[in-house]
Structure 1
């Protein structure tokens, strides 16, 4: 067996490919440094301007250098070099090693890594042209547009420059169908403040609040951010610098935290709408694949550089876009068994996290097999990923093997209940460009827009050809071994351990799910991913919890504090540690959501908030219906659903009892028409914009929502939240309030763009219902919300933009009216002594009002019947009042309930009545 203390063999080109990616990733490092004034007084600046920046001659022998940031890129590399891996020395292939003379930098080799990064506006050698090409392709530049950009000054259409301009939001500019024209850049109202990544900084602000023409103030903002970056890079563990791919994954999360709101481009009137982070990552992915294609084809000489310069080979399909999609998510998460309810909360949390692990590990397996760095994976959200690879025979053959490997793993361990779909599409440089037709207009289905359509079609084919069962047959199902019976936690799977010592029969997959749920509750907030050959280095202990089941050739272990294992230096040194993820939530003490999301490790936003018991619930045992004294959890334990169901109950008027129904609210929703928004929402789509939108959509649910729950809705449980959808469980009334709050916050998140919204379904159920029943009810409610047709926001798309609650679908625009009516009904209950019987009888009038609006003439009698019943209630129930007071009370009820309630809100008033009844029931 291989000695685990020796370096594990990796793909022979992985280190070299990662260096190419890093050079491309940091090609615009100088934009950050220049705007911060980091090297404004550096005596080497003039020489670097001459070396790296285009020069434009003017009259009388004068001239100027454009794109001065390229010179700053070379200087900034020197600044951060002490905290980089040793990649500038002798082991620097495919780049030449850097030479030094004394304390000052000597003339760098033409093909050094730094030169390749800094020369992207004046490329000469092949390696320089690889990065220059990737830079232009990521932005979608056609030749003429780039030449104008390369000869332009750094200023926007609005007259701001690279210091003062703040990043626009793509959300403000998206339009669906005939939803209206995109405002001119000068009319765009929203910008991203120049801040580190945090829950608060994800949101745009009005331009007047964060953008001005004061260059000194703008530079100071950049200077503060630059200084934070220089301190933050030191937090990456020193031991991890010896493994470039591992370090690069950490650095990518740091770069995200530092540059997510820095505009990547401002010259030649280019809209500053893509962040430096998204441009860096897509450029790195394209450069790595481009270099590998040329390396495989043996085209790395001056002739190849010339073809890139002239774009004569731009139609050559050099890239392969690989898509992964985890299918069967809901069946997987909500599977049930005999003992499911006992571990419901931990199982749900564990399964949801496990779905993210499947996606992460499948993507890592592909990256390792192809010898690509983490930055080649440009999209990763909600069970989906996109990887940019070279289009070579070796890659195609490897992918075919990996598809079979994934199929075999999922058939063996899930029997086809879940799986990983894999599809790929070749692409050329030209496919990424913003293509123009003969009239000069942007064509909807050419260039990158057409490429994106082909990607969707390829993935759809993969979904309909799962496991290739037509050729492999269904042998896997007949080979199932049920000698120990079915798994107690997933009744469809066979147990591989018998029931013994009080433990139920179970399979390894379920045991890992429970272990994950337990680890998350115990605040194990880092995950080690180790090659399977390093298994013996993972020992269970107080601060390290390995999982049982290997995933695609890797072993996983949760840990809490890096100090407990020396920051995993031994594993890192051997090359066995492939990734180390920090998935901690935004800090609980982050009151305003401004703390940077960076702790020195690669960040993955895959956890999600879950409520914990305070330990004092047993002192209020009368509040919690159906919870025995012995069943109350300890402080810090995961709060069980039975406990959450009673959290909305409130003390009665006497203070001796509790009012309100014990029920769970289940909230499921997703963004409306997202596929169409990605397909036609932007007038000028590019690869970098596509990646940026995917990241930003995911961030609202995966980052901001977790912080919002922890701060304001601590009793709501995250089943999953990421990509464009979410599934939450909590106290029934709090879930309703959360749904409205999310709607308002999402509206603010997308710059108040009326074309961007989500629909949601709310189901209310007594505690004890199986989780798959909760899921089905929420799915049915969401389906009803998606059928909402009024008010229509577009003649070509249904409005959706609605919520279904108690079986009633309501446009979001009416929700506040229902809340107001509910508040008023509560006041009437107190002042007029409304009885439960009277309120319950109002449901009949609501139904008659609905029938009247549907055309039933007999139902119109509801008004007279309502007034009669209300008058009888006033006469019979409210005694001791004079006639005038009784008449005033009758008029009040008739107006507030009859006119402003039932008549105005129609069938939607049913939600008001149910909410009122549920709040004042005794159980």
Structure 2
């Protein structure tokens, strides 16, 4: 290759050029003959045309108009990402190409210690400082007052896919026409191909923090997506995507399922894809059943108890998420990872404020109790008497956690404080375990990984 200092065929060289140009340039030109317009011009002709990538500022020179007047320019497409305010059109025909990759910025340079030294120093001075998977895996670490960084170094790979899309095209349209099917297809594609990359770059969480900018969008378009990002942010992003997708579709019958896997950054990309695909398949197999508990009331059964009421028709299928080998519906996901997680975090902060910080040992104990609560169900043929002891064991461990460690502040009544904290923490944990059983491992695992040093 004339561009590189090693031997390479022209086709392979073009593939590398395309990959580099998509993250650095803004336009792609299709011309009738080779031109010196751009150094990022592909070496080979494709179907008789020449292809070149150009930066945003090149159109100011008027070269595009000159090429068009000379009938050399066949097509000019803009594949730049939308602006932060959502503006899409930049004066050229659009092609939705996922080109967003995480970059270093000044804020990252100020907190460079979180990346450690295992992968060498971050190259902030490069013209296009793109983050590696190791750097992305470090993004959810938090700086403590003592100068240490806390939080697991890990990635979450997220794959998602719209449920029953074929059946939707076959049966979901009243008086189906090609125009209606094409419109529906474009609408679904735009959510993943246009909105999702924009949201990864500019989207903010409930606190107004742009925490998804470190997400690597491997692909997004059609009816599916494949993302790699910092473990905690990507877990939260999954719920955000689901909420926005539901709002966008405005139809509760159009859903998607997702599979997530958490790994170290050195795991090969092929293994990441296979593991995430396996998790997605588990989500696609998710079934929830309802059994009558009154004339017009129904109670959701956990999947483990589904066979107990086999004659009952499955009403809720797919529309689920899988993480750490635990599959739950999106409704339960929101309650576990948002509502329950926030309640528990608030209570633990109160305990820590009174001298009782959460220990890893306590989290491991709660994970063990979640396993016992999962087994303690009437539909479990292997249920053991000792499995039903999880409630009393929870009360004992919570009491030890609060009583032995909570200290008073000022003129507070220490016994009253301990009693209030014990009641609040124990009631929340008991309620969550009783309702969600083993699925409560999800927010507990987030707590555990967030405390790693």
Whether TM exceeds 0.5 here: the answer is yes
Query: Counterpart in 1 of 2:342?
Result: 823
Matched, 1:530 2:31: yes
Give the counterpart of 2:320 among 781, 798, 802.
802
The alpha-carbon distance between structure 1 residues 754 and 717, as it changes in their structure 2 partners (threshold 3 A), is: same
**Structure 1 residues 228-282: Cα deviation after superposition (integer angstroms, max 9, x where no partner):** xxxxxxxxxxxxxxxxxxxxxxxxxxxxxxxxxxxxxxxxxxxxxxxxxxxxxxx
Task: Supply the distance in 2 between the matched residues of 1:698 and 1:865 (Cα, whole angstroms).
Answer: 50
Matched, 1:554 2:49: yes
**Structure 1 residues 835-879: Cα deviation after superposition (integer angstroms, max 9, x where no partner):** 111112211111111122351133222222333333333444446
Query: Counterpart in 1 of 2:21?
Result: 519
Give the counterpart of 1:743 among 232, 236, 242.
242
Matched, 1:567 2:99: no
Q: Aligned to 1:599, what secondary structure does the other structure show?
A: coil
Tell me if structure 1 keeps the 8 A contact 2:23–2:100: no
Tell me if structure 2 keeps the 8 A contact 1:614–1:634: no
Tell me if structure 1 keeps the 8 A contact 2:41–2:51: yes
Matched, 1:919 2:450: yes
Query: Counterpart in 2 of 1:648?
Result: 140
Q: Aligned to 1:900, what secondary structure does the other structure show?
A: helix
**Structure 1 residues 435-480: Cα deviation after superposition (integer angstroms, max 9, x where no partner):** xxxxxxxxxxxxxxxxxxxxxxxxxxxxxxxxxxxxxxxxxxxxxx
Task: Supply the distance in 1 between the matched residues of 2:345 and 2:419 (Cα, whole angstroms).
Answer: 20
Query: Counterpart in 2 of 1:851?
Result: 375
**Structure 1 residues 403-461: Cα deviation after superposition (integer angstroms, max 9, x where no partner):** xxxxxxxxxxxxxxxxxxxxxxxxxxxxxxxxxxxxxxxxxxxxxxxxxxxxxxxxxxx
Query: Counterpart in 2 of 1:104?
Result: none
Where do 1:219-618 residues align within 5 Å?
Answer: 501=5, 503=6, 508-522=10-24, 524-531=25-32, 534=33, 537-539=34-36, 543-560=38-55, 561-564=58-61, 566-567=63-64, 569-570=66-67, 573-574=70-71, 577-588=73-84, 590=85, 593=86, 595=87, 597-618=88-109
Give the counterpart of 1:699 among 153, 165, 190.
190
Tell me if structure 2 keeps the 8 A contact 1:759–1:800: yes
Query: Counterpart in 2 of 1:895?
Result: 427
Q: Report the structure number with the largest CA radius of gyration.
A: 1
Query: Counterpart in 2 of 1:772?
Result: 270
Shift of 1:883: 4.9
**Structure 1 residues 611-650: Cα deviation after superposition (integer angstroms, max 9, x where no partner):** 2211553432221144555333436422222111111111
Tell me if structure 2 keeps the 8 A contact 1:667–1:727: yes
Query: How many residues are matched?
Result: 407
Q: Normalization by structure 1: what TM-score?
A: 0.42
Matched, 1:860 2:357: no
Query: Counterpart in 2 of 1:62?
Result: none
Shift of 1:888: 3.8
Query: Counterpart in 2 of 1:686?
Result: 177
Tell me if structure 1 keeps the 8 A contact 2:159–2:225: yes
Shift of 1:889: 3.4
Query: Counterpart in 1 of 2:259?
Result: 761
Query: Counterpart in 1 of 2:207?
Result: none
The alpha-carbon distance between structure 1 residues 759 and 674, as it changes in their structure 2 partners (threshold 3 A), is: same
| Structure 2 gap ranges (5+) | 204-211, 291-299, 301-311
The alpha-carbon distance between structure 1 residues 887 and 616, as it changes in their structure 2 partners (threshold 3 A), is: closer
| Structure 1 gap ranges (5+) | 1-496
Task: Supply the distance in 2 between the matched residues of 1:558 and 1:839 (Cα, whole angstroms).
Answer: 52
Task: Supply the distance in 2 between the matched residues of 1:660 and 1:893 (Cα, whole angstroms).
Answer: 23
The alpha-carbon distance between structure 1 residues 552 and 619, as it changes in their structure 2 partners (threshold 3 A), is: same
**Structure 1 residues 508-546: Cα deviation after superposition (integer angstroms, max 9, x where no partner):** 554333322321232x11112235xx2xx233x7x4411
Q: Aligned to 1:790, what secondary structure does the other structure show?
A: strand
The alpha-carbon distance between structure 1 residues 772 and 634, as it changes in their structure 2 partners (threshold 3 A), is: farther
Shift of 1:565: 6.5
**Structure 1 residues 142-177: Cα deviation after superposition (integer angstroms, max 9, x where no partner):** xxxxxxxxxxxxxxxxxxxxxxxxxxxxxxxxxxxx
Coordinate RMSD, CA, aligned: 2.8
Q: Normalization by structure 2: what TM-score?
A: 0.81
Give the counterpart of 1:720 among 219, 223, 229.
219
Tell me if structure 1 keeps the 8 A contact 2:112–2:122: no
Q: Aligned to 2:287, what secondary structure does the other structure show?
A: coil
Q: Aligned to 2:125, what secondary structure does the other structure show?
A: coil
The alpha-carbon distance between structure 1 residues 715 and 688, as it changes in their structure 2 partners (threshold 3 A), is: same
Shift of 1:741: 1.2
Moved more, 604-613 or 725-734: 604-613
Q: Aligned to 1:760, what secondary structure does the other structure show?
A: strand
Task: Supply the distance in 2 between the matched residues of 1:913 and 1:768 (Cα, whole angstroms).
Answer: 25
Tell me if structure 2 keeps the 8 A contact 1:618–1:629: no
The alpha-carbon distance between structure 1 residues 573 and 910, as it changes in their structure 2 partners (threshold 3 A), is: same
Tell me if structure 2 keeps the 8 A contact 1:825–1:916: no
Q: Aligned to 1:630, what secondary structure does the other structure show?
A: coil
Matched, 1:812 2:307: no
The alpha-carbon distance between structure 1 residues 904 and 625, as it changes in their structure 2 partners (threshold 3 A), is: farther
Shift of 1:790: 1.7
Query: Counterpart in 2 of 1:638?
Result: 130
